[in-house]
Chain A
């Protein structure tokens, strides 16, 4: 009984909803079924909105535990995370999301720091490229030469150094890169279709995490 409610009914629900969504795309059904299928898809957006809120709650819970335990050297930062999590929700209710204060704080916190966090990745990547990019064998030579030529196509100075770099770089992107990624996409598509149907048929149960 408990397995029925915990595992089998959710799997049946998943199969029913999934197959309705797929079949109504390929075949014409009475309008009420088509509308039901469209409604199910829009309900997915509602659930996603709530589910993304759950992630923040997990974050708060994990950092609250560190603050309570007074983890040495860490609890201050966890306290900052918890306090700053409430900045935008509180401002949303007190001032609204179109207020100048809300937009200014977004600009200073999310925009400025966010741009900075992503802006320092190049330093790690440059060091890694410098140390790892060595001519070890034929395949590493292909990788290296292709990367260098495309870099000289991307950088405007490449066209100044030699007019052939933009042409060669475009050729590399248009022909072998397209072919290579096309092969990857086709294979990935086969895999996704297989995984999707396995999930709907109940062979994959990994998404039923937690207590089953």
Chain B
């Protein structure tokens, strides 16, 4: 019985140390566990794949230090996919950190695929105001963005000469961790103007997005797992796929902890019952 009681009280440093090991070891020695693609991720992929060439996508790149690990891989895979399909992308950011990640992630992909700034994509930068900002952008982009992130007046950008408001936008993507912002895009883009919405939420927000799928949200690429699936679909293995083995082993450890704790509890209840 001593062992079973101990199962309910494993010391915290041991738990943490084993957790670190289950995450670190597969990063150094990958296992290669196969990944299945979720229907929601496939749905998001097909929405982008089926857009006509030249369609305009509004991408709210709300990545930040807290969310870059979760959604960064999916963002890059989707940007690559959209450039490959010759879609035009307008990058905005409802978070202050997003523009820094756009400047780091997008130019290398654009350069590799021969995409030109101002023609194939523009980066407008941060907008304040959350839902108010989204409403203003969809009404009239120039009311929130007199210039792009490089201080070029938007009327001088070839892409922005053709895109003035929601009427020219075919798809909106929100990538980030703000639950309010996720719902705001659904309300303002899909409900108000009927624009297709795809979400790239962090893990915590996946459940909040479920009620809107598939009628109001066309696809959900959730967290690191969704990023790995999207990398698989675009045939570009990257950091998300690299993290999947760690995810597997760490989850096995957490499940083991839960089961051990409950075995200990059930056994001690049974022994108290019999005595």
Contacts and interface: CB of A to CB of B under 8 A. Distances in A.
Interface size class of B (residues with CB under 8 A): 35 or more
A131 B260 CA distance: 11
Contact of A152 (B68, B211, B255): B255
A118 B210 contact: no
Contacts of A111: 65, 68, 100
Interface in A167-183: 170, 173-174, 177-178, 181-182
A49 B38 CA distance: 38
Contacts of B100: 103, 106, 111
Contact of B19 (A126, A131, A134, A185): A126
B49 interface: no
A166 B261 CA distance: 25
A197 interface: no
B66 A159 contact: no
Interface stretch (A40-48, A62-70, A78-86, A204-212): A40-48
A33 to B, nearest CB: 14
B34 A118 contact: no
**Which residue, B15, B129, B206, B244, has most C-beta atoms of chain A within 10 A?**
B129
B74 to A, nearest CB: 15
Interface in A50-68: 52
B12 A114 contact: no
A123 B19 contact: yes
A102 to B, nearest CB: 9
B27 interface: no
A110 B129 CA distance: 22
A157 B258 CA distance: 17
B144 A45 contact: yes
Nearest to B264: A134
B191 to A, nearest CB: 11
**Which residue, B104, B139, B249, has most C-beta atoms of chain A within 10 A?**
B139
A87 interface: no
A166 B211 CA distance: 20
A144 interface: yes
B128 A42 contact: no
Contact of B254 (A42, A151, A185): A151
B167 interface: no
B65 A181 contact: no
Contacts of B139: 38, 41-42
B181 interface: no
Interface stretch (B50-58, B83-91, B112-120, B130-138): B130-138
**Which residue, A110, A126, A134, has most C-beta atoms of chain B within 10 A?**
A126
**Which residue, A127, A155, A160, has most C-beta atoms of chain B within 10 A?**
A155
Contacts of B140: 38, 42
B249 to A, nearest CB: 8
A155 B128 contact: no
B136 A134 contact: no
A181 B251 contact: no
A157 B249 CA distance: 8
A155 B143 contact: no
B12 A110 contact: no
A115 interface: yes
Contacts of A160: 33-34
Given A127-B12, A130-B258, A135 B136 contact: no
Nearest to A39: B143
A46 B143 CA distance: 11
Interface of A: 25, 38-39, 41-42, 44-49, 52, 98, 103, 106, 110-115, 117-119, 122-123, 126-127, 129-131, 133-135, 144, 148, 151-152, 154-160, 166, 170, 173-174, 177-178, 181-182, 185
**Interchain residue pairs A-B with the least CB separation, the first 8:** A114-B65, A45-B129, A44-B132, A157-B248, A49-B128, A155-B251, A182-B211, A42-B136
Interface of B: 10, 12, 15-16, 19, 33-36, 38-39, 64-66, 68-69, 97, 100, 103-104, 127-130, 132-133, 135-136, 139-140, 143-144, 150, 192, 206-208, 210-211, 213, 225, 244-245, 247-252, 254-255, 257-258, 261-262, 265-266
17 contacts: A48-B128, A48-B133, A103-B104, A111-B100, A129-B254, A129-B257, A129-B258, A130-B10, A135-B265, A144-B258, A154-B247, A155-B252, A156-B245, A166-B36, A170-B39, A177-B210, A178-B211
